Amino acid sequence: MPGSLNTLMQKEQNTSIFSTVPKVVRKNVLTQKVVIVDGQPGCGKTMLSPIVGALDRVELMSFPVEIEFICRFHQLGKISEDAAAAWVKMMCDHRLYHGMMGREMNCRWKDLSSVFRAPNPLKYLVRFFQKGDEIIPERIQRERPILHLAAHNLLADGEPFFAGLQENVLMIHVVRHPLYMVKQQALNMERLPSNPRNVNVYFEYQDMQLPYYVHGWEELYLASSYMERAVYLIDRMTRRIEEAAQRCRAKYNAKIITVPFEKFVLAPEPYLQQIVSELGTRVTWITKKEMKRQKVPRRMIADGINLPIYERCGWQPSESASEVDEFRLRREMVKKDVKKDALDVMDRLSEAYEKEYLGKVFLDEYRN
């Protein structure tokens, strides 16, 4: 026995820690189910996320920026798939474990992810006074909480998420007409890339720091106005998301529900029932109360909630008498700030979206 031990010790001493790279794994997990409300900036995630968060057993919404970073570093080839997948699982378990004890909870009154804006704040506030630590895994098993995340463009880079969590994750991908997203994204282009408050993934290009989403079209980005950059980003991100969704469904049997914003706010029931069925949860009176707060269903697509954060992102109350007039006004706004090539891209994106989600009656009226 001592000889065998000496042999193992000698083998360890002769092996460099850099000579082999082990596969990173996490097999014992706390998180039983995750729901992610994902989409491009301006798509309406923060309308849908509170409604999802008001379903039975679904946890308070949080923004998983560290998980987004992991997936983006993986997309740029800086993190291996096994490490990224294990890391995603670790961060989900970390969020759920601390959330069940009331740790790292956002208590800022006006924040969208604040506990005080939750559909049922008392559910989370009592956790400050409950026992935690060793009893939390048993509580998770008993209560079966559903971790709830609201992400930005995660599907485009989200293979590590599906590789790690597989059947335990439901991705709700919110889509919206590009004319309703472009203003916020143009403001993002103007305000965020040079702002140190914006913590995101950047890469170096000709001694410049560029955001991760520009990789592969750097020269076009640098030659474009803010509005043009927004148009080109929507175009590229839409294609990347469609390709990633197809790949993840084939490779991981990924559960992805596409929710068109326009259809949901006018007639939410079919999509809500699909979400409820996939999550194994139910609609409660709290859900219906939250839907009323989000003005769902609503008379017009543009009839949103007047919040300061939405105004900072370019939202304004609609002054149009009809949906068609609102779309025409938004196209004129884009037309004033872009060259013909970018306007052609926006028109192509708009027509494709309208054919897919808005229907022939709307198209005939709008295009004529």
More reliable by pLDDT, 148 or 119: 148
The helix/strand/coil state of 188 is: helix
- In angstroms, the Cα distances linking 284 to 142, 167, 172, 228, 258 are 20, 25, 20, 44, 23
CA 351 to CA 78: how far, in whole Å?
A: 37
Judged by average pLDDT, the poorest of 160-174, 249-263, 351-365 is: 351-365
Write the pLDDT tens digit of every residue in 257-306.
Answer: 999 999 999 999 999 999 999 999 999 999 999 999 999 998 878 776 55
CATH number of the domain where residue 306 is located: 3.40.50.300
Residue with tokens 């597989």: 166
What is the per-residue pLDDT for 194?
Answer: 84
Query: In DSSP terms, which residues pair with 146 in a beta bridge?
Result: 58
Instruction: Round the average pLDDT of the chain to a whole number and report it.
Output: 89
Kindly state whether residue 335 falls inside one of the protein's structural domains: yes
The answer to whether residue 155 sits within a structural domain is yes
Sort 64 into a burial class: Cβ within 10 Å, 0-12 / 13-18 / 19+: buried
The fraction of the chain above a pLDDT of 90, given in percent, is 71
Asked, for residue 179, whether it belongs to a domain, the answer is yes
Distance separating alpha carbons of residues 8 and 1, to the nearest angstrom? 11
Is position 5 within any domain? no
> Which long-range CB contacts under 8 A does 104-111 form with residues at least 24 apart?
105/60, 106/62, 110/308, 110/309
- Structure-token pair, residue 197: 């408050």
Q: How confident is the model at residue 326 (pLDDT cuts 50, 70, 90)?
A: confident
Q: What is the pLDDT of residue 172?
A: 98
Q: Tally Cβ neighbours within 10 Å of residue 222.
A: 13
**pLDDT for position 11:** 62
Structural domain of residue 249, as residue ranges? Answer: 24-367
Residue 292 lies inside a defined structural domain of this protein: yes
The verdict on residue 14 lying in a domain is: no
Query: Does 245 map to a domain?
Result: yes
Cα-based angle 305, 111, 314 (whole degrees, multiple of 5): 45
Q: Does 2 reside within a domain?
A: no
- Give how many domains the chain has, as a whole number: 1
User: pLDDT over 70 for what percent of the chain?
Assistant: 88
- Calculate mean pLDDT across residues 194-222: 94
Which pLDDT tens digit goes with each residue over 90-109?
999 999 999 999 998 888 88
What are the pLDDT digits (tens) for 235-263?
A: 999 999 999 999 999 999 999 999 999 99
